[in-house]
Amino acid sequence: MDSLTLTERERHTAVAYDAMYAARARGTLTSTLYARAMGDLYPHGVDASSSCDWPLLGTMVANLRLGPGHQLVDLACGTGGAGLWLARALSARVTGVDISATAIRMALGRIAQFGVPPEHARFTVGSLIRTRLPDQYAHGLICVDALGFERDRRAALEEIRRVLEPGARAVLTSGRSRTHAVLPPWKEQAASVGLILDAEQERPHEPQMWQRLYALWIQHEAQLRTELGDARTESMLHEAHARGPSLPERQALVVTLRRPQD
């Protein structure tokens, strides 16, 4: 997707994420703080700026059920670590899609690091609701920590269904309040777009990880400002102060959806 096809909101989002990835590439502090927050659950090679940990990677392997040569889509892939890790582990092919052109360039530069054949990895700019991938393209799809930022959840799920081939699965992370649910249950959300809920598994350790990470961001504000700059640090601190108080009520989930056989 070139910039001319982006909506105004998508352009603003792309600019913000481009700045984030460019800032984080200037040093290692952000990765170090994620590693400290996750402890021994942190998959160092993946280097994700998300809740992607060893348990989540294991759940993806188990629930996707991909075979050698199968096509995986990493939706909102960031710098590509999770998708490339899975492609290597499962001898699969991966296509990563992200709205940030900076993240896509970084992902392309990491293919050799994972030992994935260049012809088995592709990264392209696109959004959650407009991937620009062909119909029934994927044998499996992952989306980590991105659905909650998409205002049109139904459109994103419809795009996921379109991209999946019949019988293929998508593994998504999701969160909701235990006391003030806004969206319908996942079974209803899936059914409304023609998908089947295969599994809904809680990740009880994830909110505590975010609590530790936000505390580390606040504690290391001065170092973050030096490495990332004031604008990016302010954004991170805003997230920490805005989301931190609601974490005790957060229910973190990994959801597996399946496109039925047509």
pLDDT digits (tens, 9 = 90+) for 124-170: 999 999 999 999 999 999 999 999 888 899 999 999 999 999 999 99
* pLDDT for the residue numbered 4: 45
* pLDDT for the residue numbered 3: 45
Helix (H, G, I), strand (E, B) or coil at 9: helix
Helix ranges (H only) for the chain are 8-24, 29-38, 54-64, 81-90, 101-108, 153-163, 186-192, 206-219, 221-228, 230-243
For the entire predicted model, the pTM comes to 0.95
CB distance 189 to 183 below 8 Å: yes
Domain count, the chain: 1
Identify the bridge partners of residue 258 per DSSP, sorted by sequence position.
169, 196
Structural domain boundaries, residue 198 = 3-258
* pLDDT for the residue numbered 147: 94
Q: How many helices (H) and strands (E) does the chain have?
A: 10, 7
pLDDT in tens, 15-45: 999 999 999 999 999 999 999 999 999 999 9
CB distance 145 to 51 below 8 Å: yes
CATH assignment of the domain containing 253: 3.40.50.150
